[in-house]
Amino acid sequence: MSKKILIIDDDAEYRQLMGEVLSLEGWSVLEAADGETGLEAVSRERPDVVLCDLLMPRSNGFLVCRKIRSDFTLRHTKIVVASGQDYDSDRLAAREAGADEYLTKPIKPYDLLALIARLTDDTTIMAPPEVIPPTAPPQPAWLKFWGVRGSVPTPGPGTVRYGGNTTCVEVRAQNQIVILDGGTGLRPLGRSLLAEFQDQPLHITILLTHTHWDHIQGLPFFTPIYHPRCRVRILGFEGARRGLVNVLTGQMESPYFPVPFGELPGNIEVDELKDLEFPVGNLRVRAWFANHPGICVGYRIHTGNELIVFFPDNEPHCRYDEAGQPQPTRAEASLDYARSQESKMIEFLHGADVAILDAQYDRPEYEKHVGWGHGCVDDVVMLAVRAQVKRLFLFHHDPDHDDNRLDELLARARQIVTREKSPLAVALATEGQIVRFAPALQPA
């Protein structure tokens, strides 16, 4: 299919001249006589290149550039601004507005052809980093907690031991860097990655469970997205109301943030997942739906040797009484239904070396939050016991729980493990903590 170029210019003679030259070179040429008509054609036709005049009626060239660059889905469209004026300030302003090149009229047609051939050379368009050939033998897998808090960051003296940043976990396995969720823990993680990789290329995959604030707010502050040598691939499922790209670009629109998503200099791909099973390099990943408002999933990562399951926001379907017997939740009156849902979750979690699970509430708190989509520590421990998880990390700590309160939750969790005579190791996810998988996982 021939590539499309849109010429936006109020000079009909110029459009015709350039159009003829480009058509002879195999380009499919579209024309618009003013900025607004041009923008309509851009969104309708999605051209590979826009050749845009600067001074023209109904939206000048700067506005046209800005408008195109505010649409993330048009990020591969190249913009060449052509102007009869040759001021450095115009060049700078056009670049700032998102133009890829600036030419001064009159333009020699073959100069233009050489320029757009260079701009649209397919080798310059980034391919998604689907499979990165290993450059070194795989290192033993490990993971690190960068944010363990639910809902909202909670800095302060009461949270120094377990941490105040929201959801973010780094997984390293099979030479892949996988980040689970982009809460505020993503900010220090980005700095750490850049310090570690220095000038080397950096390939990162971010798996988003859902787009509640505590899972995406670190993204605008994740420094690799500002470095052209970094490739960041963001994967997640479409939300209940808006596509993933719209949600992620929306949180960086003015007036919320000064840098629009479409203008980030890093190589960023946002891919909406359609299937529940997919690879990330040599890692096998499965997703499953959480019991949480909207569309929210958990991920199960098989590294080849280890199984890691991440369910940061999830309300277990089954409740357990003091003696460990299942009880129907108020939200799901039918015990049978709850059990059938739980059995799917048990299958998903089964045999995990590490399970990171939402355990936001203790039993009295949970009574007041049934149906909110978060876990009660008693039920979460029973779920992990029944799924024969080896090591459970209680996660998504409530913003109102200080370190001492979290110690009480852990004590309660360990009581249940003892009562069940289970070999399950249980700990509180702690910001900064590294969990290594080799040579063999040692219980906490």
- The binding site for Zn ion (CB under 5 A) comprises 150, 212, 214, 313
**Residue placing its CB nearer to Zn ion in the complex, 129 or 312:** 312
Tell me the β-bridge partners of 435: 143
Closest distance to Zn ion from the beta carbon of 395 (Å): 10
Place of tokens 């277990």: 316
Closest distance to Zn ion from the beta carbon of 348 (Å): 18
How would you class 443 by CB atoms within 10 Å of its CB: exposed for 0-12, middle for 13-18, buried for 19 or more?
A: exposed
**Residue placing its CB nearer to Zn ion in the complex, 52 or 345:** 345
Tell me the β-bridge partners of 297: 289
Cα distances from 186 to residues 33, 111, 225, 308, 386, in angstroms, run: 45, 44, 11, 19, 32
Tokens of 210: 């859902």
Closest distance to Zn ion from the beta carbon of 307 (Å): 23
Q: Per-residue b/e over 200-213, b at no fewer than 16 CB within 10 Å?
A: eebbbbbbbbbbbe
Closest distance to Zn ion from the beta carbon of 361 (Å): 13
Kindly report the three-state secondary structure assignment for every residue of 387-400: CCCCEEEEECECCC
Cα 55 from Cα 133, distance rounded (Å): 48
Name the closest residue to Zn ion (Cβ). 212
**Residue placing its CB nearer to Zn ion in the complex, 77 or 166:** 166
How would you class 1 by CB atoms within 10 Å of its CB: exposed for 0-12, middle for 13-18, buried for 19 or more?
A: exposed
**Residue placing its CB nearer to Zn ion in the complex, 116 or 206:** 206
**Residue placing its CB nearer to Zn ion in the complex, 212 or 300:** 212
Contacts of 83 (CB under 8 A, 6+ apart): 53, 54, 55, 61, 90, 94, 102, 103, 104, 105
Place of tokens 């929201």: 166
Residue ranges with strand state E in 241-327: 267-272, 277-280, 283-289, 297-302, 307-311, 319-320, 326-327
Which 3 state secondary structure label does DSSP give 202? Answer: strand
Closest distance to Zn ion from the beta carbon of 201 (Å): 32
Closest distance to Zn ion from the beta carbon of 241 (Å): 15
For the chain, give me the number of helices (H) and strands (E)?
12, 21
Instruction: Residue 376: name the closest of 324, 345, 413 by CA.
Output: 413
Closest distance to Zn ion from the beta carbon of 153 (Å): 12
**Residue placing its CB nearer to Zn ion in the complex, 290 or 384:** 290
**Residue placing its CB nearer to Zn ion in the complex, 150 or 375:** 150
Closest distance to Zn ion from the beta carbon of 379 (Å): 17
Closest distance to Zn ion from the beta carbon of 429 (Å): 13
**Residue placing its CB nearer to Zn ion in the complex, 212 or 231:** 212
**Residue placing its CB nearer to Zn ion in the complex, 170 or 313:** 313
Instruction: Residue 243: name the closest of 92, 72, 409 by CA.
Output: 72
